[in-house]
Amino acid sequence: MLADIQKAEKGFTVRFERHLKHSVENVWAYLTENEKLARWFSELSVDDLREGGSIKFDMQNGTFEEMKITALDIQAVLEFTWGEDLVRFELYPEAEGCLLVLKEYINQMTSHTPKDLAGWHVCLDVIAALLDEREVVSRMEEWKKWYEQYVHAVEKFA
């Protein structure tokens, strides 16, 4: 299911949800422990896990972009800058696991927005697959499928 995209007072809010049959602790590990983080987003690494700390994005050209952690509540909230925007992961315990929510607060829709949204969509699916010990055969094929849908979803706001 596509993320929910809403016009906000300033910019846009995008909300992804995944109900996972895994504990908050196990899911949190995939968001914050570098060896697990690398399995679903190899360019990211947690540099300093604290509010005001940082996450690094490897630009794959010898440089790194530092993203500031703007909110942190261990095993509940991880929020950080994403360029001019914000990305926020929230975890909520449920009877049979947890709810993983990813919110992206977007200042301005651009031609790159559907690419990012499709990317986050696939990342969340990969986290779920890793937790379930399943393999995602082709992330690029999955991304292409979702990218087309996000292009149409974002057009409504252009």
Contacts of 36 (CB under 8 A, 6+ apart): 29, 30, 130
92-97: which pairs have CB atoms within 8 A and are 24 or more residues apart?
92/24, 93/23, 93/24, 94/19, 96/21, 97/19, 97/20, 97/21, 97/22, 97/23
| Per-residue pLDDT, 126 | 97
User: pTM for the whole thing?
Assistant: 0.96
Checking 52-57 for CB contacts under 8 A at 24+ apart, the result is 54/80, 55/80
Q: Is 27 within 8 Å of 131 (Cβ atoms)?
A: yes
Quick one: three-class SS letters along 75-126?
Answer: CCEEEEEECCEEEEEEEEEECCEEEEEEEEEECCCCCCHHHHHHHHHHHHHH
Question: How far is the C-alpha of 68 from the C-alpha of 79, rounded, in Å?
Answer: 9
Query: Which DSSP state fits 49?
Result: -
Residue 18 has pLDDT above 90, yes or no: yes
Tens-place pLDDT, residues 93-142: 999 999 999 999 999 999 999 999 999 999 999 999 999 999 888 999 99
CA 113 – CA 5 distance, rounded (Å)? 11
Per-residue pLDDT band for 157 (boundaries 50, 70, 90) equals confident
Give the residue carrying structure tokens 């010990």. Answer: 133
Instruction: Give the pLDDT band of residue 158 (cuts 50, 70, 90).
Output: confident
Q: Could you tell me if 93 and 22 are in contact, meaning their C-beta atoms sit under 8 angstroms apart?
A: no
Q: What does the DSSP 8-state code read for residue 50?
A: S
